[in-house]
Amino acid sequence: MRSGQSLPGIDGRSAWTRRCRDLIAAHIADLGGIDNVSTAERSIVRRAATLTVELERLEAKFAMAGESSPADLDLYQRTAGNLRRLLEAVGLERRARTIEPSLSDILNEEAAE
């Protein structure tokens, strides 16, 4: 799979694919960047992004109709619950990314000069 391509053979220019890709990038950044995320975490993030996009589509459908059907509302609730569990699996808090050199490294280096 090429870098930036979500699924082989799928045009990455659709609004759905762009939104999913943006969410994946945001979640990966929250987890400290691609170098700090395991393959399993990337897999969970991808599924979480997919569920988020679909929940957003349902929300738009509800807003346009001014209501939701019982079946759509049930689907929405189950999907939201599954999304929460996926996000809990990778951690809901933002992780700090290590930036080299640290402030203390810079200060120590200047003090040594």
- Please write the tens of the pLDDT for every residue from 16-46: 999 999 999 999 999 989 999 999 999 999 9
Residue 92 or residue 107, greater confidence: 107
Gap between the Cα atoms of 98 and 109, Å rounded: 18
Residue type, 2: R
| Domain boundaries defined on the chain | 15-112
102: three-class secondary structure by DSSP = coil
Q: Classify each residue of 28-49 as buried b or exposed e, where b means 16 or more C-beta atoms within 10 Å of its C-beta.
A: bebbbeeeebeeebbebbbebb
- Please write the tens of the pLDDT for every residue from 50-77: 999 999 999 999 999 999 999 999 999 9
Residue type, 39: T
Quote the Cα angle for 88-70-68, to 5°. Answer: 85
